[in-house]
């Protein structure tokens, strides 16, 4: 079941990357390196959500991973385009992480581990 979660979360990350790239390029063309940076950053969010074993609420989990993974791209984008892009990159990283975690959790139902009691 873990492999399925990794695969689904990664595919959702690719989809989020393509959506993010299309939204970012709506104001005009961008260099291919930036396109790949956007797609790979969002794909990485999905992959990390898929492999992560944090024992916290899955939605908070997605937001935190989205924010953490988006930090390098936020600094790179902010250096080129300004402070507003820095913050939007971080915020949207959290949003994409939230959505990836939500949809992955709806598709892949993980069993809750319950401690066994010794009688």
By CB neighbour count within 10 A (0-12 exposed, 13-18 middle, 19+ buried), where does 88 fall? middle
Q: Is residue 92 part of a domain?
A: yes
3-state SS of 62-93?
HHHHHHHHHHHHHHHHHHHHCHHHHHHHHHHH
pTM: predicted TM-score of the whole model, two decimal places: 0.84
Q: Is residue 117 part of a domain?
A: no
pLDDT tens digits, residue range 30-83?
A: 889 889 989 999 999 999 999 998 888 889 999 999 999 999 988 887 777 778
Q: Please give the mean pLDDT across all residues of the chain.
A: 87
pLDDT(119) > 80 = no
Q: Is residue 78 part of a domain?
A: yes
Q: Is residue 48 part of a domain?
A: yes
Q: Is residue 112 part of a domain?
A: no
Domain total for the chain? Answer: 1
How much is the average pLDDT of 81-93? Answer: 86
Q: Is residue 61 part of a domain?
A: yes
pLDDT at residue 116, rounded to an integer? 65
Provide the domain limits for residue 19: 2-107
Q: Is residue 113 part of a domain?
A: no
The C-alpha atoms of residue 28 and residue 66 are separated, in whole angstroms, by: 25
Q: Is residue 115 part of a domain?
A: no
Percent of the chain with pLDDT over 70: 90
């Amino acid at each position: 079941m873990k492999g399925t979660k990794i695969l689904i979360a990664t595919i959702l990350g690719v989809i989020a990357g393509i959506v993010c790239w299309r939204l970012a390029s709506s104001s005009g063309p961008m260099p291919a390196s930036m396109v790949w940076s956007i797609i790979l950053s969002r794909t990485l969010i999905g992959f990390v959500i898929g492999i992560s074993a944090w024992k916290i609420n899955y939605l908070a989990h997605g937001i935190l991973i989205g924010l953490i993974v988006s930090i390098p791209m936020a600094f790179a984008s902010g250096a080129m385009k300004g402070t507003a892009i820095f913050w939007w990159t971080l915020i949207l990283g959290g949003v994409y992480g939230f959505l990836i975690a939500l949809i992955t959790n709806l598709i892949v139902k993980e069993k809750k581990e319950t401690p066994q009691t010794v009688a």
